[in-house]
A and B are shown apart, each in its own frame.
Chain A
Amino acid sequence: MGAPTKVRLLVGKVGLDGHDRGAKIIARALRDAGFEVIYTGLHQTPEMVVAAAIQEDVDGIGLSVLSGAHNTIFPKILKLLAERDGADIVVFGGGIVPDEDVPRLLQAGVKAIFTPGTSTRQVIDWVKANVVPRRR
């Protein structure tokens, strides 16, 4: 192992949801904060996101979901990651997620859900504290 590597992050949009304002702002803010950031673009399937995460060897995946499909998308991503030896990739997310759905997502293995009104600074600080380069 050489010098400590930069944390690599994948910011993704899954499903038919076209609301990409938040995803792009977060991706850019994380990049400006010094992380390596890959933005998937729109209309990805969970399979595509997981394949990209494994291939790009990222340390964390941030998903933006404003379509109400969070209860479907997050568990599916976590399951696919586990199947592909990616269970240690930190999954976090944001978007329109009702408070009552948050505990269930956290229990399923999502590490944080950021709801509307979160500042980019809060997300950056959380990532700094919670996402570290994976042991490879």
Chain B
Amino acid sequence: MKPRDGRTAAAKRGARREWEERVLRPTLARRAERLPSFTTVSNVPVDRLVTAEDLEGWDPADKLGMPGEPPFTRGIHPTMYRGRLWTMRQFAGFGTAEDTNRRFRYLLEHGQTGLSVAFDLPTLMGRDSGDPQAEGEVGREGVAIDTLADMEVLLRDIPLGRISTSMTINAPAAVLLAMYLAVAERQGVPYAELEGTVQNDILKEYIAQKEWIYPPHPSLRIITDMIAFCSAEVPKWNTISISGYHIREAGSTAVQELAFTLADGIAYVQAGLETGLDVDAFAPRLSFFFNAHNDLFEEVAKLRAARRMWAAIMRDRFHARNPRSWMLRTHVQTAGCSLTAQQPHNNVVRVTIQALAAVLGGTQSLHTNALDETLALPTEESARLALRTQQILAEESGVADTIDPLAGSYFVESLTDRTEEAAWEYIRRIDAMGGMVRAIEQGFPQREIAEASYLYQNQIDRGEKTVVGVNRYTEGEARPIAVLRIGPEVEPQQIERLRRTRSGRDAARHGRALRDLQAAARGSTNLMPPILEAVKAYASVGEICDALRAVFGVYREGTVPL
């Protein structure tokens, strides 16, 4: 077929060769390019020029479709941001429940449209404040939640029927979701009206973030129990946020992030099917969470490829019939690992580029990091600036006003295709190993990420990759900026509050609830109802997780290869 401009493909190739001879070669002879070769942040080679001939055979009907239609490359909504902007969802949590409740209300007053809870490490690891292993970590990286009493304070005066809440919690996700449900009940909000997400992605914990409790198989059972419970009782709740974010933060490439995340998604769908659930009963409530690093086009390509791949996986591999099951809905957070302690104000610019990538990539919600996050948790002022960055993108830059504006770019489309193909290759390798759980047990994704992160660090150390303010354009004197301090009083206060809650609760109901939970864990009934009862009996996160540890055992990482 003849291209529309009347020239044949061969003639076009001829035109490019002719340009290379006539124009490019003498130019290069006079002056070499800046670098011998160009690569993305993830070391994918970048061509000098991408032209129509690189997209020969590329069919927009097949590769793109229309917005809101499969394969969703152009976005999952027919009107995208013209209809509704992405949800601006800033992750927040520190100190006690009172501290964080105050920050939440501050963010909502400043135009934030959804909540996102950061828990402290002891909570994430299923340990109570006061546990010897939690010493020094209470309330530091997020808010300390031990019992329902803390959750009641955390969500005080926040209308749960009108706001959506994302909770970054994995191994103990069922416990924190149960607490949220219990508070909603008390506010008189029916479960069916609740909107939100629990991260609940344990596979990426083994791969990257390392906040696990139980071994993979019982962990997957808890997750499938939650999926079954929510699809019946809390239908608007996103039961898993399948997360590439932490994989990238651990040092992976963009392709590894994409591939391992989708392979995790495949494992969850498989686990759901194995418990007898119908794919269309739960797949529409699976959501995703990706990173946005500095390389603008690479990130856009990754998000566009992700949607196209998930649609293929759900339709062709799992035979889902409901198009909502094919849609990859995602949250994006800008890359914490890209921020620098040196010249921290430069981080605002990095975050802006990364947020732009997320928006051009068609995200559903976005967290922009604050400039001080390599130093500490954000101050109120830096958190506000991060939110304002999104508002400027949304309402001043114009990028939200047309759908998928980079579609058809020779470079972006070819990069999208290459990213997709490289990710499929990883997925084929993982399938050949017997799926992601087996691959994790063999340390495969962990090794791939460690290799990529070591290479990247070496490239920075050798100056092959530039980090402004770190290995180029450095300044001798550091100019310190004010950072948020978590006072030493938080830990003893929280331990004391837990002690009071313990002494005030109905001991008989508490003991019975934990025994019932263990019985359910030993059997095969759904764990959510007994967890809900334990939470309402003011059992703590640590007590509930300990009860399950006694039945399920704990995960230990094998020898870590260096």
- B29: interface (CB < 8 Å): no
Mostly helix, strand, loop or mixed at chain B's interface?
loop
Query: Which residues of A have CB within 8 Å of B211?
Result: 16, 18
The residue of chain B having its C-beta at the shortest distance from the C-beta of A42 within the complex is: B210
Q: Flag whether B125 is at the interface (Cβ < 8 A).
A: yes
B136 contacts across to A, CB distance below 8 A: 15, 67-69, 71-73
Q: How many residues of A contact B (CB 8 A)?
A: 35
User: A116 and B133: CB pair below 8 A?
Assistant: no
Q: How large is the interface on B (under 10, 10 to 19, 20 to 34, 35 or more residues)?
A: 35 or more
Shortest Cβ distance from B342 into chain A, in angstroms?
Answer: 5
Contact A21 B251 (CB under 8 A): yes
Q: Do A67 and B121 contact each other (CB < 8 Å), given the known contacts A25-B457, A116-B341, A117-B470?
A: yes
Annotate B353-388 by CB proximity to A: 1 below 8 A, 0 otherwise.
000000000000000000000111000000000000
Nearest chain A CB to B283's CB is how many angstroms away?
29
- Using CB atoms, name the residue of chain A closest to B467: A117
Residue B340 is within 8 A (CB to CB) of chain A in the complex: yes
CA distance A95 to B185 in the complex (A): 42
Contact status B210-A21, CB under 8 Å: no
Known: A21-B251, A119-B471. A16 touches B453 (CB 8 A): no
Q: Are A16 and B122 in contact (CB under 8 A)?
A: yes
> In the complex, A129 Cα to B205 Cα: how many Å?
37
By the criterion CB–CB under 8 Å, are A16 and B376 in contact? no
Q: Which of B127, B209, B376, B461 contacts A98 (CB 8 A)?
A: B376
Let me know if B374 and A116 touch, CB within 8 A. yes
> Do residues A24 and B450 form an inter-chain contact, with CB atoms below 8 A?
yes
Known contacts: A25-B453, A28-B454. The answer to whether A18 contacts B137 by CB under 8 A is: no
- Contact between B137 and A96, CB atoms less than 8 A apart: no
Q: How far is the CA of A135 from the CA of B475 in the complex (A)?
A: 40
Provide the residues of chain A in CB contact with B135, threshold 8 Å. Answer: 15, 69, 72
**In the docked arrangement, what's the CA distance between A28 and B467, Å?**
22
Selected interface stretch from B190-198, B406-414, B478-486, B520-528: B478-486
CA distance A88 to B453 in the complex (A): 33
CB distance from A18 to the nearest CB of B (A): 3
The distance from the CB of B173 to the nearest CB of chain A, in whole angstroms, is 16
A116 touches B340 (CB 8 A): yes
Contact residue among B125, B467, B562 (Cβ-Cβ distance under 8 Å from A24) = B562
Contact B140 A115 (CB under 8 A): no
From 12 to 30 in chain A, residues with beta carbon under 8 angstroms from any chain B beta carbon are 15-21, 24-25, 27-29
Alpha-carbon separation in the docked complex, A67 to B127 (Å): 15
* Interface flag for A85 (CB, 8 Å): no
Convert B478-501 into 0s and 1s, putting 1 for each residue whose CB lies closer than 8 angstroms to a CB of A: 101001011000000000000000
**Contact status B562-A45, CB under 8 Å:** no
Residues of B contacting A69 in the complex (Cβ-Cβ under 8 angstroms)? 135-137, 140
Question: Nearest-CB distance from A123 to chain B (Å)?
Answer: 10
Which residues of chain A have a CB within 8 Å of any CB of chain B?
15-21, 24-25, 27-29, 31, 37, 39, 41-43, 45, 67-69, 71-73, 96, 98-100, 115-117, 119-121
B residues neighboring A (CB under 8 Å): 121-122, 124-125, 127, 132-137, 140-141, 205, 209-211, 249-251, 337, 340-342, 374-376, 450, 453-454, 457-458, 460-461, 467, 469-471, 478, 480, 483, 485-486, 557, 559-560, 562
User: Could you list 17 further interchain pairs (A-B, Cβ under 8 angstroms) beyond the known A16-B124, A25-B454, A45-B133?
Assistant: A16-B137, A17-B137, A18-B209, A19-B210, A20-B560, A21-B250, A24-B453, A24-B454, A25-B457, A28-B562, A29-B454, A29-B457, A42-B210, A68-B141, A68-B376, A68-B486, A99-B480
